[in-house]
Amino acid sequence: MREFSYRDGSLWAEQVSLQHIAERFGTPTYVYSRAHFERQYLNYAEALGDHPGLICYAVKANSNLGILSLLAQLGAGFDIVSGGELERVLLAGGDPSRVVFSGVGKTANEMRRALEVGVHCFNIESEAEVNRLEQVAADGETVAPISIRVNPDVDAQTHPYISTGLKENKFGIAIDQAVEVYQRAATSKHLNIIGVDCHIGSQLTEVAPFLDALDRLLVLVDQLAELGIQLEHLDLGGGLGVRYRGEEPPPVKDYLAEVHKRIGERKLSLILEPGRSIAANGGALLTQVEYLKRTDEHNFAIVDAAMNDNLRPALYQAWQDIVPVTPNESESTLWDIVGPVCETGDFLGKNRSQSLKEGQLLAMLSTGAYGFTMSSNYNSRCRAAEVLVDGDKTYLVRARETFADLVRGERTVPEKT
Ligand SMILES: Cc1ncc(COP(=O)(O)O)c(C=O)c1O
Ligand SMILES: N[C@@H](CCCC[NH3+])C(=O)O
């Protein structure tokens, strides 16, 4: 996390101290580093080299308009999974012709809107979806560009909840049925087959599973070419994993060098949909210690951020570093760092060695991806503020929610008559 570092005994994001951000915007607050997002995106774009291709940032990782706009300004493409994400991309100035639309449950309305704005491609996940998209395109007297998401049945060797490329997962079309679905789609004058895609899982720290999937996809690409179905692109889905706690993901350029070697002379452009590796280490969740509570079993530090702000520890038992904004020299003890939500599973970190005081500020690191986007209002908690740091400037890119936001659209009912 190069952009988050200690200076003069305190933690900074780029040229702004987190202490200053907490004083100005309160806690809990997500803090993002613009430089990190830009560097990570450009790392992918540069690794494409002279090969044709498109980096479609996975909006689900962090969909704040500030983040999407800075990526749009760099010419990024976007991978979306809902109509809401599409509208965010458009509002942020993203180019719809660089958007790929993934997801197993696209509604007819979402398809219509995506056709209207001209997305690059629909990543189709089932035969039923082929039929629905064909109908929507026919009704609109247009042609929908499509790719079929195949499920290559490879083990991504990641957490089972974020593994998506095995036969038992709900995603994609089994690779041994893909030819049949392509042939069916090829009969339609309202569908234009342009690609193939897959996504085998997230937080992969080895390239081998990606390359296994690629090898299987290339067999399919060649088979389709023999049948007269020539694809223009191959989309390998999400990006590499990140370092949360000692993981060492390989450099993107090594990964893409292997990919290009395998694609060889085929006239295929490459699409990637990285989310986590662009966003995760560009964010920190700032929180304040409310209470210290010691029991016979445990020391609990109750902080003002909770599972509704960052669900990853509760959902995946994920580890993310929690560090003091201003470290002190006192002796450390083990703490469970927990939130105020009424759930035993509401923790941010367990058995963390810290020297803590009430009122102290902590930063939960590596929370730029799947942090705010997975947050909720559980326990009627207002969602956190989001602040983007750019050098010595700070932008409040999402105001902290208020009680009025919490109850917007709700109403009470009259007394029973
Ligand atoms: C279809 C698709 N593309 C891209 C991504 C982003 O993956 P990652 O954040 O691991 O780069 C995901 C999420 O895992 C996904 O489901
Ligand atoms: N939400 C997950 C990643 C899921 C990716 C979505 N396909 C995480 O926080 O690790």
Residues whose CB is less than 8 angstroms from the CB of residue 373 and which lie 6 or more positions away in sequence, other chains included: 60, 61, 62, 63
Residue percentage of the chain with pLDDT more than 70: 97
pLDDT tens, position by position, 71-109:
999 999 999 999 999 999 999 999 999 999 999 999 999
Residue 309 near residue 339 (C-beta atoms within 8 A)? yes
Report the DSSP beta bridge partners of residue 337: 301, 349
The ligand whose atoms approach the alpha carbon of 252 most closely is 1
| Complete domains list, the chain, with CATH | 4-32+280-407 (2.40.37.10), 103-272 (3.20.20.10)
Average pLDDT on 40-61 reads 97
Place of tokens 């929507």: 136
Q: Is the CB of 240 under 6 A from ligand 1?
A: no
Beta bridge partners of 233: 195, 269
Distance of CA 245 to the CA centre of its chain: 19
CA-based nearest residue to 371, from 15, 63, 43, 49: 63
pLDDT band at 192 (very low <50, low <70, confident <90, very high): very high
Q: Locate the ligand 2 atom nearest the alpha carbon of residue 315 and give its number.
A: 9
Q: In the predicted model, what is the mean pLDDT of residues 117-134?
A: 97
CA distance 386 to 400: 7
Quote the pTM value: 0.97
The 10 Å Cβ neighbour count of residue 235 is: 25
Q: Are 28 and 309 in contact (CB under 8 A)?
A: yes
Question: By C-alpha distance, which of 61, 30, 85, 46 is closest to 277?
Answer: 61
Residue for token pair 């450099």:
251
273 lines ligand 1 (CB under 6 A): yes
**Pocket lining: 244 vs ligand 2, CB cutoff 6 Å:** no
State both tokens at 44.
């992918």
CA 161 – ligand 2 centroid, Å: 8
Q: Ligand 2 pocket: which of 149, 162, 240 to mutate (most atoms <8 Å of CB)?
A: 162
Q: Give nearest CA residue, ligand 1 atom 6.
A: 238
Q: Please indicate if the annotation marks 358 as binding a ligand.
A: no
Ligand 1: centre distance to CA 82 (Å): 14
pLDDT for position 321: 98
pLDDT digits (tens, 9 = 90+) for 135-179: 999 999 999 999 999 999 887 766 666 666 666 677 889 999 999
Question: pLDDT digits over 297-326, tens only?
Answer: 889 999 999 999 999 999 999 999 999 999
Distance CA 149, CA 167 (A): 13
- The answer to whether the CB of 224 falls within 8 A of the CB of 181 is no
Res 126 pLDDT > 70: yes
CB of 149 within 6 A of ligand 1: the answer is: no
Q: 92 C-alpha to center of ligand 2: Å?
A: 23
Choosing from 276, 310, 319, 376 the residue with most ligand 2 atoms within 8 A of its CB, the one to mutate for a pocket test is 276
Residue 63: per-residue pLDDT:
98
Please indicate whether residue 342 is annotated as part of the active site: yes
Query: Cα of 228 to ligand 2 centre, how many Å?
Result: 37
Alpha carbons 323 and 365: distance in angstroms, whole number:
8
Q: Annotated binding residue at 414?
A: no
- For 333-389, the pLDDT digits (tens) are 999 999 999 999 999 999 999 999 999 999 999 999 999 999 999 999 999 999 999
What confidence category does residue 2 fall into, taking pLDDT thresholds of 50, 70 and 90?
A: confident
258 marked ligand binding residue: no
- Among residues of the chain, what percentage have pLDDT more than 90? 92
**Exposure b/e, 316-334, CB count within 10 A at least 16 = b:** eebebbbbbbeeeeeeeee
| 370 marked among binding-site residues | yes
CA distance 391 to 3: 10
* CA 394 vs CA 25, 195, 282, 287, 386: distances in Å: 10, 41, 14, 18, 10
End-to-end CA distance of the chain: 61
User: Is 116 annotated as contributing to ligand binding?
Assistant: no
Confidence of residue 1 (pLDDT cuts 50, 70, 90): low
Cβ–Cβ < 8 Å for 249, 210: no
- Whole-number average pLDDT of the chain: 96
3-state per-residue secondary structure call for the chain: CCCEEEECCEEEECCEEHHHHHHHHCCCEEEEEHHHHHHHHHHHHHHCCCCCEEEEEEHHHCCCHHHHHHHHHCCCEEEECCHHHHHHHHHCCCCHHHEEECCCCCCHHHHHHHHHHCCCEEEECCHHHHHHHHHHHHHCCCCEEEEEEEECCCCCCCCHHHECCCCCCCCCEEHHHHHHHHHHHHCCCCEEEEEEECCCECCCCCCHHHHHHHHHHHHHHHHHHHCCCCCCEEECCCCCCCCCCCCCCCCHHHHHHHHHHHHCCCCCEEEECCCHHHHHHHEEEEEEEEEEEECCCCEEEEECCCCCCCCHHHHHCCCCCEEECCCCCCCCEEEEEECCCCCCCCEEEEEEEECCCCCCEEEECCCCCCCHHHCCCHHHCCCCEEEEEECCEEEEEECCCCHHHHHCCCCCCCCCC
